[in-house]
């Protein structure tokens, strides 16, 4: 549905990733509004763990674009595929950085609603534990509290619309509830931390519908049953994060962060090695499409950003693409 460019600022020469919707999708107000919501949501947050948005708007052609931080590193999904189950110290550090970023996100009234390994990116940072910084990507289906999406006239929003990725969706998301709050993101963190520690998400099935039903009706597996060598504090934390009823769940990212920091897990030692030269501006869920993606520069120049290379395509609706460059 669009093209992603590596770009440079015309005056400063600073790099960026610029996402541009194709003309036919720019004609759909609902698609454009959700696309711009990603920019509004991300730009509302000021945190090292959130991708920075520099600019968004329309080209002279009318096409919608977002200019954002260009990241170099490795998506968590690729990292897990390469490393498998992580040591507790590394898993806890990744979850700690995620919760810190989510705390900043929730404080400004933004709920991500689609946390998953494809939307977590690891970048080199000598100042971070293990020399790795966690970045949360893709606010395409984020919810802005008090600033609802403007629906297209004649096409009312569906009250019970289901948004998210089944393996990491909270029960209330799976039901299509309208009153989703920050605790849905905390449930997703629980799913991610469980996967980091065990090598699999809490619920696995052949179909998305079955996975969603498991989130709603089945009790989550206990970490102590799959990894009895890990501290009981992690087992207790995951049990509270994965509680079905949001009212019984850990109430905030700050609370979860404080609990996680008290867990008796050895600190990280040494640096974490990231693989390859990846550029990212969103999830790498469609690697086959991205490997074949082709694009051409827009017919009119962008206001402040000039494209220097096409680095990806095949955008999902308001969901950024990511691409790995120079990987064999």
The answer to whether residue 113 is domain-embedded is yes
Q: How far apart are CA 140 and CA 145, in angstroms?
A: 15
Percent of the chain with pLDDT over 70: 77
Residues 127 and 214 in one domain: yes
Arithmetic mean of pLDDT over the chain: 80
Residues 186 and 283 in one domain: no
DSSP per-residue letters across 97-157: HHHHHHHHHHHTTEE----SGGGEEEEE-TTSGGGEEEEE---TT-EETT-PPPPBTTBPP
Is there a catalytic annotation at residue 235? no
Residues in a beta bridge with 323: 279
The answer to whether residue 266 is domain-embedded is no
Residues 198 and 312 in one domain: no
pLDDT at residue 94 tops 50: yes
Range of the domain at 31: 2-70+276-324
Residues 28 and 103 in one domain: no
- pLDDT, position 168: 95
Residues 240 and 313 in one domain: no
Residues 116 and 241 in one domain: yes
- This prediction's pTM: 0.79
pLDDT at residue 281 tops 90: no
Residues 127 and 190 in one domain: yes
Residues 81 and 205 in one domain: yes
pLDDT digit string, tens, across residues 308-324 = 665 443 333 233 322 22
pLDDT digit string, tens, across residues 54-82 = 889 998 888 899 898 898 899 999 999 99
pLDDT at residue 299 tops 70: no
- pLDDT, position 85: 92
Confidence of residue 301 (pLDDT cuts 50, 70, 90): very low
Q: From the candidates 28, 87, 114, 179, which is the catalytic residue?
A: 114
Where is average pLDDT lowest: 68-77, 87-96, 141-150, 197-206? Answer: 141-150
Residues 202 and 251 in one domain: yes
Residues 45 and 182 in one domain: no
| The two structure tokens encoding residue 293 | 């993606």
DSSP per-residue letters across 189-228: HHHHHHHHHHSS-S---SSHHHHHHHHHHSPPPPHHHH-T
Residues 170 and 80 in one domain: yes
Average pLDDT, integer, range 281-287 = 37
């Amino acid at each position: 549905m669009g093209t992603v460019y590596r770009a440079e600022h015309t005056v400063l020469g600073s790099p960026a990733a610029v996402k541009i919707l194709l003309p036919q999708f720019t004609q759909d107000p609902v698609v454009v509004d959700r696309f711009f919501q990603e920019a509004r949501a991300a730009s509302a947050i000021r945190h090292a763990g959130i991708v920075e948005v520099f600019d968004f708007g329309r080209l002279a052609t009318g096409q919608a674009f977002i200019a954002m931080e260009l990241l170099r590193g490795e998506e968590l999904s690729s990292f897990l595929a390469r490393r498998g189950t992580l040591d507790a110290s590394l898993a806890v550090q990744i979850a700690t950085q995620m919760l810190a970023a989510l705390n900043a996100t929730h404080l400004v009234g933004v709920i991500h609603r689609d946390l998953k390994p494809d939307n977590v990116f690891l970048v080199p940072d000598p100042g971070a534990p293990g020399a790795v910084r966690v970045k949360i990507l893709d606010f395409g289906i984020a919810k802005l509290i008090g600033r609802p999406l403007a629906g297209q006239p004649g096409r009312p929003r569906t009250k019970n619309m289901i948004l998210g990725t089944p393996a990491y969706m909270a029960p209330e998301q799976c039901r299509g509830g309208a009153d989703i709050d920050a605790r849905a993101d905390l449930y997703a963190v629980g799913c991610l931390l469980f996967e980091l520690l065990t090598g699999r998400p809490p619920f696995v099935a052949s179909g998305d519908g079955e996975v969603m039903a498991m989130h709603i009706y089945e009790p989550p597996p206990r970490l102590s049953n799959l990894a009895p060598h890990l501290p009981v504090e992690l087992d207790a934390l995951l049990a509270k994060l994965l509680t079905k009823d949001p009212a019984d769940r850990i109430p905030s990212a700050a609370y979860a962060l404080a609990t996680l920091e008290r867990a008796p897990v050895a600190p990280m030692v040494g640096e974490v090695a990231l693989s390859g030269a990846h550029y990212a501006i969103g999830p790498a869920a469609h690697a086959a499409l991205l490997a074949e993606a082709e694009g051409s520069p827009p017919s009119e120049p962008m206001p402040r950003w000039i494209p220097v290379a096409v680095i990806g395509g095949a955008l999902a609706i308001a969901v950024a693409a990511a691409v790995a460059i120079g990987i064999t």
